[in-house]
Structure 1
Amino acid sequence: MTAADLGFLLANAVLPHLDLFGALGLSLGFASGLMPRRDWILVTAAACSLCFALHFFRLGAYTGTAMCTVSILQSLVAAYAIGNGERPAWIVPLFTGSSVVAAGLTLATWNGWPSACAGIGALLATLARLQAEPQAMRRLFLGASSCWAVHNLLVGSVFGLTCDCLTLSALAIALKRGSRTRNAGLASAA
């Protein structure tokens, strides 16, 4: 086997898993975990979801595509309509309705464990988006990203799995940073 043959084999093994949407989604997913403000987290997460919806569609992972599409709507609504502890009366019915749609889409695109993981991840992310406090939102996103990591492992999304690992790391860093800030504030208040 020549070096050219080896390069051709490697390219054939790797290139089907690489695409622009996966690369952009990976970058945005990591960035969203580190964002300092709630609205920035949500807008960046919406952009990430758009990229991954296109990536999963390309892979044929239709439950992932559907959950990402619902995520875009929820993230943008949560970014602009929920803040400072305020929540308009229409938010809960909208999120309930979109969760029912997500459950229906999960069943309609059912593919076993990948679909179950995407559905549970979507539910946890929905609960996260309803939180007014960034640290509470991050804790729920930690669970959601764990479910998505299993989904991405099962459907063979290299970018999705890498993004989940980076997002989990970013969320852990942000949670640790937030707890230090909170503890320092409590100590100075005492």
Structure 2
Amino acid sequence: MTAADLGSLLSNAVLPHLDIFGALGLCLGFTSGIMPRRDLILAAAAACSVCFALHYGHLGAYTGTAMCVVSAMQSLVAALAMGEGRRPAWIVPLFAGSSLLAAGLTLATWNGWPSACAGIGALLATLARLQASPQAMRRLFFAASSCWAAHNLLVGSVFGLTGDCLTLSALAFALMRGARLRTAPVPAAA
């Protein structure tokens, strides 16, 4: 057996299980959970959604693909157009319309429980993106990520499920850190 034969054998054994977009999505999902600012959370979440849309398309999980495309659009709009008490009047109708689109795409790509989990996760994430407070956003993203974990378990996405576990861990850490900062005593002025 030559080195080329060994390389080919190894490549044939490994490549079908390696999905670069799933791996990138996994990293970006964790990163979004620990970002310090709302706009950074949303930018990382948008990039994560694009990666997972490609990953789910590769797996044939088309409801997940569709929800990730809607999610990426919403995250980018929320990151660029909202923040610091700013919410243009067109944001809520746009998000309502994209939620209706997500519901329609969920029905059009229906595959039972995986589709239900992806659809509910997308709805909770939509609500999260409308929040002004990073902590409120994290709480809703935690619920959304729990739904996505169920979806990923059902469709067999190792990258998605691993990413959800990391994202849930990062969100739990950030929620506890935020709660601790909110309840920390303010030092007395000297």
Normalising by the residue count of structure 2, what TM-score does the alignment of the two structures yield? Answer: 0.90
Give RMSD over aligned pairs: 1.6
Residues 125-136 of structure 1 correspond to what in structure 2 (within 5 A)? 125-136=125-136
Residues 59-74 of structure 1 correspond to what in structure 2 (within 5 A)? 59-74=59-74
Give the C-alpha shift of residue 178 in structure 1.
Answer: 0.6
Give the C-alpha shift of residue 189 in structure 1.
Answer: 7.7
Partner of 1:75: 75
Partner of 1:5: none
Q: In 2, are the aligned partners of 1:50 and 1:68 still within 8 Å (CA)?
A: yes
1:135-167 per-residue CA deviation (whole Å, 9 max, x = no partner) reads 000000000000000000000000000000000
Give the C-alpha shift of residue 82 in structure 1.
Answer: 1.1
C-alpha distance in 2, partners of 1:78/1:178?
21
Residues 93-108 of structure 1 correspond to what in structure 2 (within 5 A)? 93-108=93-108
C-alpha distance in 2, partners of 1:123/1:189?
41
Amino acid across the alignment from 2:186: S
C-alpha distance in 1, partners of 2:114/2:174?
28
Give the C-alpha shift of residue 86 in structure 1.
Answer: 1.8
Normalising by the residue count of structure 1, what TM-score does the alignment of the two structures yield? Answer: 0.90
1:188 counterpart SS class: coil
Partner of 1:154: 154
Partner of 1:40: 40
C-alpha distance in 2, partners of 1:148/1:105?
16
Partner of 2:186: 188
C-alpha distance in 2, partners of 1:145/1:15?
27
Q: In 2, are the aligned partners of 1:95 and 1:126 still within 8 Å (CA)?
A: yes
C-alpha distance in 2, partners of 1:157/1:131?
29
Unaligned runs of 5+ in 1: 1-7
Partner of 1:58: 58
Q: Is 1:21 equivalent to 2:21 in the alignment?
A: yes
2:186 counterpart SS class: helix
C-alpha distance in 2, partners of 1:129/1:106?
19
Partner of 1:137: 137
Unaligned runs of 5+ in 2: 1-8
Runs of 4+ deviating beyond 4 Å? none
